[in-house]
Chains A and B, each alone.
Chain A
Amino acid sequence: MSTDLGSAEALWVLLLGSLLGLELIGKVPPTLHTPLMSGANAISGVTLLAALALIGAAPNPALRLLGAVALGFALFNVVGGFLVTDRMLAMFRRKGDN
């Protein structure tokens, strides 16, 4: 598949990514609990990158089909997740807003 990543390097990325996530979220107002969750949920569909890589590297149609199914599941998550989050956020308004 893609470039071989050094294990140590990848673990550093994992550690720093986790810390970044903890730092970024911090205190969330309850109004946003659901949108934050479903937005983050959409981001977790980022496995679509792995599915694309699998399709690209697959030597036979069976494996490409598996990649396509994985891609379908991931995109269902991504597209649906972002759209539904947007729908929810569009509803939130303050008193007097229009």
Chain B
Amino acid sequence: MGELTLDLGAVLLLALGLKGLAKIRTARTANALAALALVLAVAGLLIQQGLDGWPWMLLGLAAGGGLGALLAYRVAMTAMPETVALFNGCGGMSSLLVAIGAVQLPSALSLVGQISVLASVVVGAITFSGSIVAMGKLQEWLGTPGWTLRPQRHAFNIATALACLACCVLVLKGFSLALLPLTVLSLLLGVGLTLPVGGADMPVVISLLNSYSGVAAAAAGFVVGSELLIVAGAMVGAAGLILTQVMCTAMNRSLTSVLFGGALGAAGSSTAGGESAKEEGYTNVTSCSPEECALTLEAAERVVFVPGYGLAVAQAQHSLKELARLLEQHGVAVSYAIHPVAGRMPGHMNVLLAEADVPYDQLIEMEVINPDFPRTDVVIVLGANDVVNPRAKSDPASPLYGMPVLEVDQARSVFVVKRSLGSGYAGIRNDLFELPQTSMVFGDAKQVLQGLIQELRALGVGKTAVAGASH
């Protein structure tokens, strides 16, 4: 009776936790509630089954929990996408191992139990290897090998999937040894599905893998006959799917095209072989020094920053905040325009800027800020590219066509901070760079921002505010 109460309490807390995580005011409490829910669930289970095998439990607790806590406290906020991917992969690995273990138990499994074992193994393995590949790509340990973008990869993936299916049939027929090749093949499938995806499509994959780990947990719930596991896994799976949908909508792409269409625009560019051709294509590009940019900024009343993955790579969030504070002291209205898929995971820019102590109410969503660009004096684009490309609206032939973008071309002047004129991740030409109101400021985002701060100080921007305040 006691364990049933604990289980029900845990489900209730999990539901409240998940709901609370969707609202800013309640999110932190909600996260704690969800953690408490898992503690209750463990208590309920231990009351039911006793402490048999406790040294092993303690071993798992010390190793896993200890390492998890260590990583969670020590990891830099800029490394958050790969950290989330790593945690996620480990959840999948756990479901995989549990399912393999459950087969070795003396008690025979029902047909549903067997199917659940297979689902848990396949989804768990895909989650694990997929997440590890995603982590490797985010850490830049792994690139996107050319062969993964060729159509043959579909043949590879389909063959692997069919082989998985064959192994599943064998297991159901009683050859439980086929679980071993099934595990290996599923791991390969996870690699094959994730390796070709990159760049701007990363947020979709990360949230999809997150959803998979929930599905794997639910499958493990069927294996061990735990309602709590099934409910919790199903909730996570559904939540992950919603987030995946939000990301796909933000790119105007279907989930299938992200998963099977390869990198955005890569189909054309890899065969036409034209990175250099594209770079040459730019004419009429104006570039300017931080000094000129600072002069324009000093005279502005309304400035909008557009952060992208380049800001995270350059770790320039603190410099950006410093520049913003300087401008605010000068009486400039500063805000940040956030595209839903800017960065490499859902909400990446929000976390990055929060770390630099930027208040979240200065971060404005695309739909809200777009009508404001015509009355914006200066837009500074920092390491973003495709999400500000006007072609997405004007050129039906562009692979970006239809993707909602930040309409920065409506602003009076635009500065694009970029290392070179190289095309963005997707290899698509950006018309913004050639507009008369656009100037390119070449350089590393952090160095350019530091340069701007110095130039503004030299113009007396910080000082006047201090002098004004002392009157």
**Residue contact A87 to B227, C-beta cutoff 8 Å:** no
Majority DSSP secondary structure for residues of B touching A? helix
| A2–B73 alpha-carbon span in the complex (Å) | 35
Neighbouring A residues of B35 by C-beta, 8 Å:
42, 78, 82
Say whether B84 contacts A34, CB under 8 Å.
yes
Given A48-B94, A66-B97, A70-B98: A4 and B24 within 8 A (CB)?
no
A52 pairs with B42, CB closer than 8 A: yes
Q: Which of B21, B59, B60, B225 contacts A39 (CB 8 A)?
A: B21
Quote the shortest CB–CB distance from B57 to chain A (angstroms). 6
B442 to chain A, nearest CB (A): 30
Find the A residue at minimum CB distance from B51: A56
Pair A35/B60 contact, Cβ less than 8 Å: no
Q: Is the CB of B87 within 8 A of A38?
A: yes
Docked Cα-Cα span, A63 to B23, in Å, equals 42
Task: Tell me the residues in window 390-435 of chain B with beta carbons closer than 8 Å to chain A beta carbons.
Answer: none
Q: A44-B91, A68-B60 are in contact. Are A95 and B235 (CB under 8 A)?
A: no
Pick the interface stretch among B12-20, B152-160, B377-385.
B12-20
Cα separation A65 to B53 with both chains bound (whole Å): 10
Cβ–Cβ contact B87 & A77, under 8 A: yes
Q: What are the residues of chain A within 8 A of B32 when measuring CB–CB?
A: 82, 86
Q: Tell me whether B303 is interfacial, beta carbon within 8 Å.
A: no
* Stretch touching chain A among B269-277, B340-348, B460-468: B340-348
Candidates A4, A33, A44; contact of B350 at CB < 8 Å: A33
Please judge, given known A-B contacts A21-B235, A76-B64, whether A35 and B21 are in contact too, CB under 8 Å.
yes
Query: B98, B234, B243: which contacts A54 (Cβ < 8 A)?
Result: B98
Contact of B174 with A by CB under 8 A? no
C-alpha gap A66/B179 in the complex (Å): 15
A88 with B45, Cβ < 8 A, contacts A25-B239, A44-B210, A64-B56 known: no
- Residue numbers in B under 8 Å from A17 (CB-CB): 218, 230-235, 238
* The one of A25, A28, A30, A88 that contacts B338, using a Cβ cutoff of 8 Å: A30
Q: How far is B60's CA from A81's CA once the two chains are assembled, in angstroms?
A: 16
Q: How far is the CA of A35 from the CA of B345 in the complex (A)?
A: 11
- Of chain A, the residue at the smallest CB distance from B27 is A89
Collect the chain B residues with CB atoms within 8 Å of residue A36's CB. 21-22, 27, 239, 243, 347
Are the C-beta atoms of A53 and B21 separated by less than 8 Å?
no
Number of residues from B at the complex interface, CB < 8 A? 114
Contacts of A30 in B (CB 8 A): 338, 340, 346-347, 350, 363, 365
Q: Which of A45-98 contact B (CB under 8 A)?
A: 45-59, 63-97
Complex Cα spacing A35 to B77, Å: 12
Contact code string B209-222 (vs A, CB < 8 Å = 1, else 0):
01001101110111
- Across the interface, B230 reaches (CB within 8 A) one of A13, A22, A58, A67, namely A13
Chain A contact residue count (CB 8 A cutoff): 88
Does B281 interact with chain A (Cβ within 8 Å)? no
Is B31 at the interface (CB under 8 A from chain A)?
A: yes
Give the residue name and chain of the B residue nearest to A35 (CB): B27
With A53-B226, A58-B105 known as contacts, the answer to whether A70 contacts B87 (CB < 8 A) is no
Report A's interface with B, CB cutoff 8 A. Answer: 1-5, 7, 10, 13-22, 24-59, 63-97
Q: Which residues of B pack against A, CB within 8 Å?
A: 14-15, 17-19, 21-24, 27-28, 30-32, 34-35, 37-38, 41-42, 45-46, 48-50, 52-53, 56-57, 59-61, 63-65, 67-69, 71-73, 75, 77, 80, 83-84, 87-88, 90-91, 93-95, 97-98, 100-102, 104-107, 110, 112, 206-207, 210, 213-214, 216-218, 220-243, 246, 338, 340, 345-348, 350-351, 354-355, 357, 359-363, 365
What are some 27 contacts across the A-B interface (CB < 8 A)? Answer: A2-B49, A5-B222, A13-B230, A20-B231, A20-B234, A21-B18, A33-B350, A34-B346, A35-B347, A40-B18, A44-B217, A47-B98, A59-B106, A64-B53, A66-B101, A74-B90, A83-B73, A86-B28, A86-B32, A87-B72, A88-B354, A91-B354, A91-B357, A92-B350, A93-B359, A95-B359, A95-B362
Q: Can you add 14 more A-B contacts, CB < 8 Å, to A40-B21, A55-B60, A68-B57?
A: A3-B225, A5-B227, A24-B15, A34-B350, A41-B84, A43-B232, A45-B38, A50-B95, A52-B49, A64-B56, A66-B97, A71-B60, A72-B64, A78-B65
